Structure 1
Amino acid sequence: MNLPKISITTVGLRIAIPALLLITTGTHALQPSDEARKLIDEWVETRQIISKERSEWQIEKELLGKTQALLDSEVRRLDSELADLKASESATDAERSGLTEDKEALKSAAAVVGDSIGSLETQLKEIIPSLPTPLIEKIKPLIRRLPDDPSDTDLSLGQRVQNIVGILSQTDKFNSTITLTSEAREFDSGKVVQVTTLYMGLASAYYVDDSGVNAGIGTPTANGWNWTAMNDHGGKIKQLVEIYEGTGEIQFVDIPAQTTQL
């Protein structure tokens, strides 16, 4: 007897199994033939394979779904970072533009300063002799840095500006305070006496020795300070010094004053 050919597909199995049962029912209803049993085993095995493949496909489907979700999340993250980067680039461009404008403004300002700094240095050198000796001693390192020829110097523009600012700053500070100092003063007789000098800013100064015998007043000139003896006022000048030092009683002291127009 020729049995129908069994197919692996589900449709073939559905056709083959009923036909097999019809055939076996008519011949050996209680004891299926070996060939029929073999076909049934193959059918069962095929069903198991199909079930296994379906199970594996379900697992793969779930993995693919999770992978897809992960990739979608990564794409969204990259899109967000790209948007942030573009925004940052825009901000950077604006900042760069602002810095460029600032740089050009500084260049223009530097050009103006560069054109006038030589004149400022020359003027400073001209007024230095009229400054009080204690101030000159203090700013001497800055004075040395003033170029002999402003048009030919190795100093940068920044260094030259800093030097001028330093001199003017110390000069302004001295001018706004009273300065007490001890000096050795030589008189016309050739005698050198240690005196205490009280500078009233840059305008004038009074000196007196410990005995109160040698005293006088000083005023600035273009070539240095001019000192005039006022020995008759030695006691009052000494009293003024003591008031400043805090050792004398605070009171009004009547002494002559002088000013000089430079």
Structure 2
Amino acid sequence: MLAKIVCVGCLSLLLLSDLVAAEALRAMESQVLRLADLQRSEWSARQDWQSQRQLLQDQLAILQKQSAVLATALAAQRQETAASAAGNADLAGELTALQARLGELCAAMLTQNDALLALRRRLPPDLRRHLQDAFSRLERLTEAAPALTELPGILQTQLSVLTEIEQYDHGIHLAKEVLPNPDEQRREYDVMYLGLAVAYALSAGGDRAGMGVPTAAGWEWRWQDEWIPAVAQAMAVARKEQPAQLLRLPLPPIVGEVRP
């Protein structure tokens, strides 16, 4: 999306006078450098997320296969036990081994659960509400160890949550939310999420604008009245009320950058 904005900006510069074009070009160069820094930062974060997601998916696939093997083995052994009392000692040993493997499987699932529940705090409220039932099922894992018959369903829930999060991260989403102002009053805002990287908010009356970024404790918002025109225009474009155009939206600080 950033690349498209830069291309539209370049076309717009051709229509300006020489003096204005030179000034706009200097501003554009500064913005492009800042966007490039942000892209590198977002790319690094996305690479970390993709690596974590791939690891989670690989582990989920392995755990799902182990679950199926365990279920088949236990079912077969129950049949053998009912058919004959011979070899009870060997069977007891095998059952002990299977129970140990089941314990390892449950421990791995709990590790995945902790990661997903921690990630939940970084999600936008509308996505958290959409995944509320799934997260409620996953929260029950912290209360009691799951039964063997519950493992396939739990694994599927974990994978579904990961898929929903990734799909959200690839889109632009509009929502209405009640957010706190610096004066500690809560007001309703129109909010536009650019994936999971950054969000922009505009009050219903159009007199307050803000930018939000996800943190480990939730979304952190900053408010500046000078952002109102750009944020209002961006939301109009997102709603297709205006054609696509160059927009100079505020950007999150680069890692290590001192905030004003």
TM-score by length of 1: 0.54
State the match for 1:178 in structure 2: 172
What's the RMSD between the two structures over aligned residues?
2.8
1: distance between equivalents of 2:66 and 2:197? Answer: 42
1: distance between equivalents of 2:239 and 2:67? Answer: 51
What SS does the aligned partner of 2:188 have? Answer: strand
Q: Does 1:158 align with 2:138?
A: no
Larger relative contact order, structure 1 or 2 (CA cutoff 8 Å, min sep 6): 2
2: distance between equivalents of 1:189 and 1:164? Answer: 39
Deviations 1:83-116 (CA, angstroms, capped at 9, x unpaired):
xxxxxxxxxxxxxxxxxxxx99952799685552
Asked if structure 2 preserves the Cα contact closer than 8 Å seen for 1:121 and 1:164, the reply is yes
State the match for 2:108 in structure 1: 116
1: distance between equivalents of 2:66 and 2:184? Answer: 61
| Cα distance change, pair 259–139 in 1 and its aligned pair in 2 (3 A) | farther
Asked if structure 2 preserves the Cα contact closer than 8 Å seen for 1:174 and 1:202, the reply is yes
2: distance between equivalents of 1:208 and 1:257? Answer: 16
1: distance between equivalents of 2:66 and 2:239? Answer: 53
Gaps of 5+ in 1: 1-102
What SS does the aligned partner of 2:121 have? Answer: helix
| Cα distance change, pair 259–153 in 1 and its aligned pair in 2 (3 A) | farther
2: distance between equivalents of 1:148 and 1:106? Answer: 19
Deviations 1:5-51 (CA, angstroms, capped at 9, x unpaired):
xxxxxxxxxxxxxxxxxxxxxxxxxxxxxxxxxxxxxxxxxxxxxxx
Q: Does 1:132 align with 2:132?
A: no
**Residue 149 of structure 1: CA displacement?**
2.4
Asked if structure 1 preserves the Cα contact closer than 8 Å seen for 2:182 and 2:223, the reply is no
**Residue 127 of structure 1: CA displacement?**
1.5
Q: Does 1:214 align with 2:190?
A: no
State the match for 1:107 in structure 2: 69
State the match for 1:149 in structure 2: 142
Letter paired with 2:192: L
What SS does the aligned partner of 2:252 have? Answer: coil
State the match for 2:58 in structure 1: none
Asked if structure 2 preserves the Cα contact closer than 8 Å seen for 1:221 and 1:260, the reply is no
**Residue 210 of structure 1: CA displacement?**
3.7
Asked if structure 1 preserves the Cα contact closer than 8 Å seen for 2:106 and 2:145, the reply is no
Letter paired with 1:232: E
Letter paired with 2:181: F
- 246, 252, 260: which is aligned to 1:258? 252
TM-score by length of 2: 0.55
Gaps of 5+ in 2: 1-64, 72-100, 256-260
